[in-house]
């Protein structure tokens, strides 16, 4: 008996995500829903957990790195079958989910599209929300134990109910939206904010930011309470950081900085690295920098893997990184373009 799960990815990395899933799990079929989503059916024995739970575990174990978000897929259809109007789509979803919902259940409702779907998600979401409330469900914006998910794909659509925890991120389609602030220095800051929303905010007082310019990550670190951020970049920081006594800028390369700091820098609590650099060199720099990090301290690095052979590049770079760190988290976040975000703990 196959069991199915919908997954979201960056469009350019769809085929890489599928390769990873095939390696990690017994896939019987994968179908594309639209540009940034697919549905995978797993061969399932009577003792096996749901496909969503199994794929969520493979992502949590970092065996699958390019999947951003998961959703239950109790029902699938060709999207052309839903073209009679939004009410046709709503009835189809209700058929798939209503018998799994009890009056009083607290649920999140995610409706999103992938590629050109016949309806804007809101056209289906609103009547669906009313129908679920009529059935006695309490719809909440976040934090519900279960999520009703609907992906309106260009080719196919899916719907189902699953545990919110196994969605990986509590945003429809994984498309987290973070508010820009007037004092925001660069959009790159969103990468770190998204990461911390997933893994929790690190604590500590001192941090090193390699490849810091113009200073988006530095601003985030200052905002979450790091009182001493050492920034390293041959380029300047944004002038808004110039008067901040909690920021000390070294206008040089990471290599020069590490060479000059060897033996003289008190170890810091956190090293972040968003350097524009080939991944294996970036990983080697993190290994070299490990002496400046307290044992148990966190390293955060983005590997700029590009789209040619990204799995091989990631594997090789992670192997290098593991010479000095335990790898805790590897994921292509919504705010990562052709890169992976890696969290590693100094071993």
Ligand X SMILES: C[S@@+](CC[C@H](N)C(=O)[O-])C[C@H]1O[C@@H](n2cnc3c(N)ncnc32)[C@H](O)[C@@H]1O
Task: Output 162 or 189, the one with its CB closest to ligand X.
Answer: 189
Residue 195, phi then psi, degrees to nearest 5: -60, -45
H or E element in which residue 62 lies: none
Task: Output 210 or 270, the one with its CB closest to ligand X.
Answer: 210
Task: Output 105 or 233, the one with its CB closest to ligand X.
Answer: 233
Q: Where are the alpha helices (DSSP H) in 200-267?
A: 216-223, 254-261
Task: Output 74 or 233, the one with its CB closest to ligand X.
Answer: 233
Task: Output 55 or 340, the one with its CB closest to ligand X.
Answer: 340
Distances (CA, A) of 275 to 100, 291, 322: 47, 19, 19
Rounded Cα distance between 210 and 194, Å, is 19
Long-range contacts of 10-18 (CB under 8 A, 24+ apart): 10/36, 10/66, 10/68, 10/332, 10/336, 10/337, 11/35, 11/36, 12/307, 12/338, 13/66, 13/307, 13/310, 13/332, 14/38, 16/66, 16/310, 16/311, 17/64, 17/66, 17/67
- The site for ligand X (CB under 6 A) is made up of 185-186, 188-189, 210-217, 232-235, 253-254, 274-277
Task: Output 177 or 276, the one with its CB closest to ligand X.
Answer: 276
Tokens of 216: 């988006």
Q: Least Å distance between CB 194 and ligand X?
A: 13
Position closest to ligand X via CB: 216
Smallest CA-to-CA distance from 43 within 1, 79, 99, 12 is with 1
Task: Output 207 or 212, the one with its CB closest to ligand X.
Answer: 212
Rounded Cα distance between 20 and 141, Å, is 31
- Cβ-based neighbour number of residue 235 at 10 Å: 11
Q: Least Å distance between CB 343 and ligand X?
A: 15
Q: What angle do CA 237, 241, 246 make, to 5 degrees?
A: 115
Tokens of 282: 């970036």
Task: Output 71 or 232, the one with its CB closest to ligand X.
Answer: 232
Q: Least Å distance between CB 288 and ligand X?
A: 12
Q: What is the DSSP letter of 171?
A: S
Q: Least Å distance between CB 335 and ligand X?
A: 11
Q: Least Å distance between CB 190 and ligand X?
A: 9
Q: Least Å distance between CB 291 and ligand X?
A: 17
Q: Least Å distance between CB 259 and ligand X?
A: 12
Q: Please, is 43 exposed, middle or buried when counting C-beta atoms within 10 Å of its C-beta (0-12, 13-18, 19+)?
A: middle
Q: Least Å distance between CB 101 and ligand X?
A: 43
């Amino acid at each position: 008996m196959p069991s199915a799960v919908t997954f979201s990815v960056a469009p350019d990395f769809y085929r890489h995500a599928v390769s990873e899933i095939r390696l990690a799990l017994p896939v019987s079929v994968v179908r594309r829903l639209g540009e940034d989503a697919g549905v995978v059916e797993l061969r399932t024995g009577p003792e096996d957990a749901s496909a969503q739970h199994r794929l969520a575990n493979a992502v949590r174990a970092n065996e699958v790195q390019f999947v951003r978000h998961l959703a239950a897929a109790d029902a699938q259809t060709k999207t052309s079958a839903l073209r009679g109007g939004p009410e046709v789509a709503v009835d189809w979803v209700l058929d798939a989910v209503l018998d799994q919902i009890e009056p009083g259940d607290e649920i999140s409702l995610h409706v999103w599209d992938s590629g050109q779907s016949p309806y804007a998600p809101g056209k289906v979401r609103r009547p669906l929300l009313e129908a679920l409330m009529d059935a006695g469900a309490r719809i909440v914006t976040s934090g519900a134990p279960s999520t009703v998910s609907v992906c309106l794909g260009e080719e196919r659509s899916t719907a189902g109910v699953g545990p919110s925890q196994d969605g990986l991120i509590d945003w429809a389609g994984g498309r987290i939206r973070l508010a820009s602030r007037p004092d925001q220095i660069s959009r790159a800051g969103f990468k770190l904010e998204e990461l911390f929303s997933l893994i929790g905010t690190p604590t500590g007082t001192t941090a090193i930011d390699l490849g810091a310019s113009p200073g988006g990550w530095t601003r985030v670190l200052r905002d979450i309470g790091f009182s001493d951020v050492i920034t390293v970049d041959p380029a300047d920081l944004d002038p808004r950081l110039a008067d901040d006594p909690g920021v000390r800028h070294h206008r040089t390369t990471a290599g020069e900085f590490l060479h000059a700091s060897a033996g003289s820098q008190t170890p810091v609590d956190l090293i972040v690295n968003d350097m524009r650099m080939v991944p294996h060199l970036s990983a080697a720099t993190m290994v070299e920098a490990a002496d400046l990090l307290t044992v148990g301290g966190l390293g955060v690095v983005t590997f700029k893997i590009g789209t040619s052979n990204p799995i091989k590049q990631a594997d090789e770079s992670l192997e290098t990184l593991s010479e000095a760190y335990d790898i805790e988290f590897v994921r292509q976040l919504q705010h990562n373009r052709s890169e992976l975000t890696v969290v590693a703990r100094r071993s």
